[in-house]
Amino acid sequence: MNQLYWFYSVPKSQEYFYGAGEGRNANEAKNSALNYIASQIQTTISSEFSKTSAYSKSDYSSSFYESARKNINANVSKISFSNIQIVKTVKVDNEIYILLRVNKQELFRNLKTKFEILDEKIDSEIKTSQKYSLLDQLITLNKLTPKIADALNDVTILSVLNPNFDVKPYVRKYNSYIEKKSEIYHKLTFKLKDNNPFASKLIEVMNENSYKIGNSSNVKIRVLPNIRYSTPLGMSVARVTVTIQVFAKNKILKSTSFEVKGISNTKSQAIAKAAIAFKAQLEEIGINKLLGFE
């Protein structure tokens, strides 16, 4: 098997990514080799990505970085390898063995061109949104968050392909965009238009997360419980569908419904227990997601 020494000990190079693969035919072997190259990139990026998260300034942006990190493999799988060079091909016992290589700098140039288009689009949309209200800015930032995560992955990939590529300015910029979301959340004022045990629990959760609640507001919230009572075995059971509606500029931004239940000796106690269950669901989902900002 000396003719397959390169398959068992794949070459390493500063200039190329090498990948070895095998298959029942040439295409299968080629795809296997490309997967080998992709796995090399994924492994290196996972290590490099931890460095970018060091620019995180808060728990909010930390969660963003964690979400972006989980998408690394998906982003690498989207890489379109061009000008693939076949270095060796050998057939042994009806199996095809192949060694490929891809030029790192050529791959870097192609990916950088695509990245620059994405980066410019993000900057342009955020700059335009700054002419409008805080709420409009927040909606724009939320819409762009997946693209910012993609761009963050892209710069990490580019830094792996070219160590001279400086990721710091981009990472700081994207971090500032994500931090801006957190700042806007806490500048907005919310008005709750309903007075019931479920609205009270929502207010508790919002206060715990430093949201401003007042009469003069950017965003209005309705908390609408639909209560059904029953009395099996003499107990009071309250089954409640709670609908939360978030309004801005007389338009519904988000409508979410919850199903909760409370059981006790009296109707009022059953409602109180249902309200406690409602708060637990709010905390599990997260207030940002609930309000339609995530």
The confidence score (pLDDT) of residue 179 equals 85
Q: For residues 4 and 17, is the Cβ–Cβ distance under 8 A? A: no
Give the architecture (CATH level 2) of 107-187: Up-down Bundle (1.20)
pTM: 0.68
The confidence score (pLDDT) of residue 64 equals 63
CA distance 78 to 251: 37
Q: Look up residue 172 and give its DSSP letter.
A: H
Name the residue ranges covered by the structural domains of the chain. Answer: 2-55+81-103, 107-187, 189-290
Q: What is the pLDDT of residues 90-141, one digit of tens each?
A: 999 889 999 999 999 999 999 999 999 999 999 999 999 999 888 888 888 9
Query: Which tokens go with 142?
Result: 């939320």
- More confident: 290 or 205: 205
107-187 matches 189-290 in fold: no
Query: Tell me, which fold does domain 189-290 have in CATH?
Result: Double Stranded RNA Binding Domain (3.30.160)
Nearby residues of 165 by Cβ (< 8 Å), 6 or more positions away? 108, 112, 155, 158, 159
CATH 3.10.28.20 given to domain 2-55+81-103: yes
Per-range mean pLDDT, top range of 59-63, 79-83, 185-189, 233-237 = 233-237
Mean pLDDT of all residues in the chain? 86
Q: What is the pLDDT of residues 139-148, one digit of tens each?
A: 889 889 889 9
CA distance 28 to 170: 38
CA distance 163 to 8: 28
The confidence score (pLDDT) of residue 76 equals 73
Tell me the pLDDT band of 30, cut-offs 50, 70 and 90. Answer: very high
Determine what percent of the chain is predicted with pLDDT higher than 90: 50
Greatest CA separation found in the chain? 83
Helical axes 168-187 vs 104-129, angle rounded to 10°: 30
The confidence score (pLDDT) of residue 139 equals 82
- State yes or no: pLDDT of 3 exceeds 70: yes
Query: Which tokens go with 79?
Result: 């890489």
Alpha-carbon distance values, 156 to 87, 191, 192 (Å): 28, 42, 43
The confidence score (pLDDT) of residue 157 equals 85
